[in-house]
Structure 1
Amino acid sequence: MEKRTVADIMEKSFVTAAPDTSVFDLIDMMVEHNVAVIPIVRDDGALAGIVTEADLVYKKVKPHMAHYSSLLGENVYYNGMNEYEKGYQKKMACNAKELMTTDVVVASPKATVEQIAGIMVSEHLKLIPVIDNNRLVGLVTRRHILNELYKEYNG
């Protein structure tokens, strides 16, 4: 049996938003379309980033202040001010560009299902955008992988 690829199982119909989409519109889109992730795409169809439910829920949470110790009168941060700054930026974000995650793991439609499943497990990912010729062409979720396993065992 030939190995199935990402192109065989990916979602080809999905909701996207532009970088200037407001946070309120993103919330509406997620609720209306019952999705947990919205890819953010530029005018040319290239992936700019993703906004997740967690990103939007974070707006209701106070950013966690970094842990620190006082050493010789100076504060030494061991949880990193960078994490606090990221949290504060998400809290204050008004649009997708300010809220989105830009460091996104992506896949090729030619990748095998086994490869994508391995990446999802090792990186603790729920969704991976599929890129072909620098354009977003699909999405693969854990549910797609489970459906593929189901077909293998029951097919």
Structure 2
Amino acid sequence: MTTVAQVLQDKPQHAIHTIAPDETVLKAISLMADKGIGALVVTHEDKVVGILSERDYTRKIALMERTSFNTTVNEIMTAKVLTITRTATVEDCLELMTDKHLRHLPVVENERLIGLISIGDLVKAAMEDQKKLIDQLQQYISG
């Protein structure tokens, strides 16, 4: 089974986009829109302290009639962040993300953020694993 390390290696090298907890929500959603991403990892002194997603924005700003101009990231971020290490398997991550209704998982090593994987990254890796298995079974059968 493919590991998170392999998924990160296969991803195009993009910067991990982070934001500080004291920044405005406007700055956060502007960054997400500019980079075409759906979540930002919230960090303080290089440690993960939260995650801010489009879902957080929709539920905690738009629906609660707050303003993006004077609300800070730490007021609406998800503070209880589930993280994984590079040794986790794709299967384990998919199970965790499905059970907890997550779309993004920060990858942490020695308490430092080293990557971010999305549900799309994991589905792609799982499909590649299945294709390899099918190819191996076909070769075995044709023998």
> How high is the TM-score relative to the length of structure 2?
0.78
Letter in 2 for 1:20: D
Question: Separation in 2 of the partners of 1:133 and 1:38?
Answer: 20
Equivalent pairs counted in the alignment come to 125
Gaps of 5+ in 2: 133-143
Cα deviation for residue 62 of structure 1 reads 3.2
Structural RMSD (CA):
1.9
User: Percent of aligned pairs with the same residue?
Assistant: 26
Paired residue secondary structure (1:38): strand
Determine the structure 1 residue equivalent to 2:44: 42
Determine the structure 1 residue equivalent to 2:140: none
Deviations 1:48-93 (A, max 9, x none): 1011101212312137xxxxxxxxxxxxxxxxxxxxxxxxxxx467
**Higher RCO, 1 vs 2 (CA within 8 Å, ≥6 residues apart):** 1
Question: Separation in 2 of the partners of 1:7 and 1:14?
Answer: 15
Paired residue secondary structure (1:35): coil
Matches within 5 A, 1:1-155: 3-10=1-8, 13-43=15-45, 45-58=46-59, 59-62=61-64, 91=66, 94-155=71-132
Gaps of 5+ in 1: 64-90
Cα deviation for residue 154 of structure 1 reads 3.4
Letter in 2 for 1:50: I
Q: From the CA coordinates, give the structure whose radius of gyration is larger.
A: 1
Determine the structure 1 residue equivalent to 2:138: none
Deviations 1:3-50 (A, max 9, x none): 32111113563211111211110111011011111000112x110101
Kindly indicate which of the two structures has a greater share of residues assigned to helix: 2
